[in-house]
Amino acid sequence: MNKLIQLHNDIDVRVQAIRENYVDWQCKMGCDSCCHRLAEIPRLTRAEWNFLCDGLSALPTEILSQITQTVAELAKQSTQFVICPMLDKSKGACMVYAHRPVACRTYGYYDQHDKGLYCNDILERVISGVLNEVVWGNQNTIDRQLSSFGNTRDLTEWFAHWKKVTP
């Protein structure tokens, strides 16, 4: 099993443990607030990008063209918050869910307060005492593992490179 799939599996185990204790945990497919409000252009390691490419390549041509165009526009965007180009806004669903980057898999479950990276929806429930016994995963541990997954680039850069090498 490759290292990325192993990491996905490890995250799934942690996610499952949280779900078992908090059956109303709202972090799942269909909850899309975070995808509407990314703090920055997603950054991916080479291994994550290669995996994501499998998901992108399986999309219908017109959807892929749409995403490619949105990514190109994103590269020029100067506003702070980013709507993920791979979000189907009409359905509130990720178009590459099975192939999404690690950050998308961990965002609601793993804590990295020092970088301001956490889900506000979850945090509100923690502050109100509903989730005050959750044992969070440690995002720094995940980041350490990701550092061995090849170079990291913005999604816009990976796309630009990809379009150069694919017809």
- Can you give the binding site for ligand SF4, defined by CB under 6 A? 26-27, 31, 33-35, 84, 86-87, 94, 96, 100, 104, 107-108, 119, 121-122
DSSP label at residue 153: E
- Quick one: tokens of 146? 């990701």
- Shortest reach from residue 28's CB to ligand SF4, in Å: 7
Name the residue with tokens 């020029």.
76
- Shortest reach from residue 97's CB to ligand SF4, in Å: 6
Give me the DSSP letters along 43-81.
Answer: EEEHHHHHHHHHHHHTS-HHHHHHHHHHHHHHHH--SS-
Q: Which is nearer to ligand SF4, 11 or 31 (CB)?
A: 31
Say if residues 44 and 153 touch (Cβ distance below 8 Å). yes
Nearest by Cα to 96 from 68, 57, 62, 61:
57
DSSP label at residue 118: S
Question: Do β-strands 137-138 and 110-111 pair in parallel, antiparallel, or remain unpaired?
Answer: parallel
- Shortest reach from residue 122's CB to ligand SF4, in Å: 5
Q: Which is nearer to ligand SF4, 20 or 167 (CB)?
A: 20
- Shortest reach from residue 3's CB to ligand SF4, in Å: 20
Say if residues 74 and 85 touch (Cβ distance below 8 Å). yes
Q: Which is nearer to ligand SF4, 27 or 134 (CB)?
A: 27
- Shortest reach from residue 96's CB to ligand SF4, in Å: 6
Q: Which is nearer to ligand SF4, 132 or 167 (CB)?
A: 132
Q: Which is nearer to ligand SF4, 62 or 167 (CB)?
A: 62
